[in-house]
Every structure is written in C-alpha cells, then in structure tokens.
Amino acid sequence: MKYLSELTGGIVITGTNISKEIPILGLAQHSKKVLPGYIFFVSSEEAEKYIAEAIERGASLVCGENEYVGIPFLKVKNVRMAVAVMSRAFYNYPDKKLSIVGVVGTNGKTTVTKILGDIFSYCGCRTAVIGTLGVFIGSERYKTERTTPDSPEYFYYLSKAVENNVQYVFCEISAHAIYFEKLYGIRCDLCVFTNFSQDHLDFFKTMEEYKNVKTSYFSSKNIKCAVINSDDPVGREIINNNEVCSVSYGIYNPSDAFAVNIEYSVGTDFVANIFDDVMYIHSPLYGDYNVSNLLAALTVGKLLGLTRDELERATLALNEVEGRFNVINWRAKIIIDYAHTPDGLTRVLSCARNICARNLICLFGCGGDRDKSKRPIMGKIASELADIVIVTSDNPRSEDPAEIIEEIKSGVVKEVFSVVDRARAVRFALMKARQGDV
C-alpha cells in the first residue's frame, strides 16, 4: 500500500478533486484488472467507456488527461508518463536494484534475450527474462499478453525479480513499448539494437515513423551504453548519430565485436573476436542471423564481466529458443519458426535451403488485424525461395482467414496451395514431404 502523494513526484498534475493522502492498493490500465483501492489509468478516448466498470470494481480514482464529473479523478498532462512513474514508485523503484539489459529491433529480440538469460544463468548469475515467450524469474514462468508488459505489470515483475535476488534482467523492448513510454524512468545499463525491417505498419503507418520510434530510444536518457548491429543500415545510423555511448558488433562490417571462419554443420561454429579477445564458439543455433544474435549476447557478456572461458562453455550448453528455427528430424526435416515479417521469412527460408537436399516446402500465414501491406510481400518471398508453398491461417483475429490468404497470394510469382484450416494444412504439408525435403 502507498499513499497517492508517494506516487506523484515528477508528474504534472493539472486538476484533481481528491486528497493526495488517500491509500492506493494497486494500479491498472485495464478495467478488468481493477480491484478495490486501485488507480485506473485512462490512456485513450476509447478507454473512457471502461471508467464505469473500473469504478464498479472498486477503483479509488481515475487518472487521465481529462476531468471526469462525479468520480474521483487525477488529471495529468501525460498519462503514459504518469502510469510509468507511478508504477515505478508503487513498486519501490526496483530498477535501481537491478542491472537491466534491453533489446530493441524488428527481429531477434526474443532470441537474444533468451541467449543472454541462458548464458548468465549457466555462469551462476540470478537472471530474469521478459519478452514474447513470457516472464522468467529463476525457475518461475509467467504468461504475458504483450512482448513488453504494460507499466504496472512490468514494474511488478521487476519487483518480483528483486525479491528473488535477481542480478540481471534481460528484456525485449518493443516499438509499442517505446511509443507508449512503458519503461519511462528506467535507464538500461546496456541496450542491444538487432536490426530494422518492415513490421507494425498497421499501427505506425509509415516505415519512417516506425524507424524513428525505434531509434528514439537510443539516447543517454534511456541507456548508459548501446550495443549496435553494424551490419544493419539503421544500426549504423544510430552509431553515427552519436546520441549515446555505443559499441558495435557485426559479420560483414568493421565492428568492435565480429565473427570469422563461420561453419554450419550440426549447429554453428565460428571464431568470435570480442574487443580483441578471441573465442572459439560452437552453438546448436543455426544460421547467419543467429551468429549475429550470438555476437550481440557475447558482446553484452563481455561488457558485464564474463570471461572468455565462461562465454565459450555457456554457448556450447545453449538450448534451442522456443519457436525459433526448431528442427524436428523425421522423414523430412521439419523446421518450426516464428518468422512473421518479410525479413524474418527471407532469413529462415535462406537458412533452411542450406540444409535442404531436395524440396523446400513452406507452410505459413499472416496474422489478422495487423500490417496488411506485408502480406503480398511475404507471398512473393515464399514463392521465390521455396519449391512448394502452402498458405494457411495464422491467428486471423477479427478478419476472414480466406481474405488474408488471398492477399498473400496476390504477391506470389508461381502457383501455390491454399488450405484455410491450419490442421488440414499441416497434414497436407506432411503428406507432400519426402526424404531429403525440408
């Protein structure tokens, strides 16, 4: 429990009808999460229709950018900033007791955070990982609704990390999290930039807007030191802008950390040079994009004090990342991957081709209520890089799955199969597969 006065330091309050000494028992941005004594944050006009439900569920007050008649309210200049500031204070500034490493980028965030969590855990450190796969604090796993949880949940998980004596938190930072200022007030010790490519144009409208949101996070206000992929053009922009202290990693461009002698067999072998410390790396992870992901993690590890021997042994012990180029050996090799962007699909199919003796079969779909412009692009990529393409449903949400499939097919350059029912599509793909296929 906190008093409201303990939570509002640094917030510009422009109106209120309540005492600042009322007790606060919790914080919520969604009306269904409200309990008696909570503050309900209204972050958009659309959310205002849920005020009545929040009050009915026992909210002590509503915080937003408007005044509300007949209910206790706190009017603030910037509600997004307010919810982060108040969440941070409610949970006793847990970020100050942790070393936080963020990962920003279109692709690779989940893999890099998972690798970092595994490496540091292997080396005896207590870790937490926050991202698409959920929140992992020690041996506990919590399901989350978003890549980066909303501020009340995010700071709650950081407080749980503190309770569990965690030293390092590795977190995915999505473009939406940056836009909505979910992590306002936190200054990461390190933040990785993996890459930039098309995604989320349903929300950001243009690639330039999406890029500007991503790159805006790389300032000394948010980050003490950045770890940047110099192979990515936007990564090089961040380095050249010089808004934050940075080090670089890469395969194809001059970098502070780089890889040579890359070989793919059962996993990946390469020589890593991390600030002139030479390491011999073997990992079960496959593909050049995973060499890049590993370089990011090795660079962070070195910056945070892990030794060459620790890093070599820890990468050897890595497991696959759930849903990221997971290989099942059957009559044909089966690869399961989360690829959901044009760049992600290109990388996965290119890597799969390298281990394919016969036909490369691609079964995929695109999610509903998301960036529609990438659908024909991904159709074109699949039809160019795979021998057999089967287009199916992938979480259509409120859209007609058949219409999504037609939009994907509008970009293909050859005949493809379409099977709306995903279970039937999987069976169809397995029926098509022969020895030597992927």
Question: What span, in angstroms and rounded, lies between the C-alpha atoms of 259 and 273?
Answer: 6
* pLDDT at residue 384 tops 90: yes
In a shared domain, residues 284 and 331 = no
* pLDDT at residue 33 tops 80: yes
Q: What is the pLDDT of residue 163?
A: 98
CA dihedral 57, 62, 64, 69 (to 10 degrees): 110
In a shared domain, residues 156 and 174 = yes
Q: What is the pLDDT of residue 199?
A: 92
With respect to residue 225, please indicate whether it lies within any of the assigned structural domains.
Answer: yes
Distinct helix (H) and strand (E) counts, the chain: 14, 23
Rounded mean pLDDT of 25-45? 94
What domain range includes position 402? 326-432
In a shared domain, residues 353 and 287 = no
Q: What is the CATH number of the domain that holds 427?
A: 3.90.190.20
* pLDDT at residue 121 tops 90: yes
pTM for the predicted model, two decimal places? 0.93
Structure tokens at 162: 């503190």
Q: What is the CATH number of the domain that holds 114?
A: 3.40.1190.10
For the chain, first and last CA: distance in Å? Answer: 56
Task: Choose the final residue of a domain: 281, 316, 351.
Answer: 316
Percent of the chain with pLDDT over 70: 100
Structure tokens at 249: 């990693």
* pLDDT at residue 47 tops 80: no
Nearest CA to 199 among 347, 341, 378, 397?
341
Query: How confident is residue 172, by pLDDT bands cut at 50, 70 and 90?
Result: very high
Structure tokens at 110: 């989940």
User: pLDDT tens-digit profile of 295-320?
Assistant: 999 999 999 999 999 999 999 999 98
Query: How confident is residue 43, by pLDDT bands cut at 50, 70 and 90?
Result: confident
* pLDDT at residue 371 tops 90: yes
Interhelix angle 308-316/109-122, rounded to 10 degrees, is 110
* pLDDT at residue 28 tops 90: yes
Query: How confident is residue 134, by pLDDT bands cut at 50, 70 and 90?
Result: very high
3-class SS of residue 171: strand
Q: What is the pLDDT of residue 95?
A: 99
Q: What is the mean pLDDT of the chain?
A: 96
Q: What is the pLDDT of residue 287?
A: 85
User: pLDDT tens-digit profile of 222-263?
Assistant: 999 999 999 999 999 999 998 999 999 999 999 999 999 999
* pLDDT at residue 44 tops 90: no
In a shared domain, residues 260 and 380 = no
In a shared domain, residues 288 and 163 = yes
Q: What is the pLDDT of residue 143?
A: 94
Rounded mean pLDDT of 339-349? 95
Q: What is the pLDDT of residue 267?
A: 86
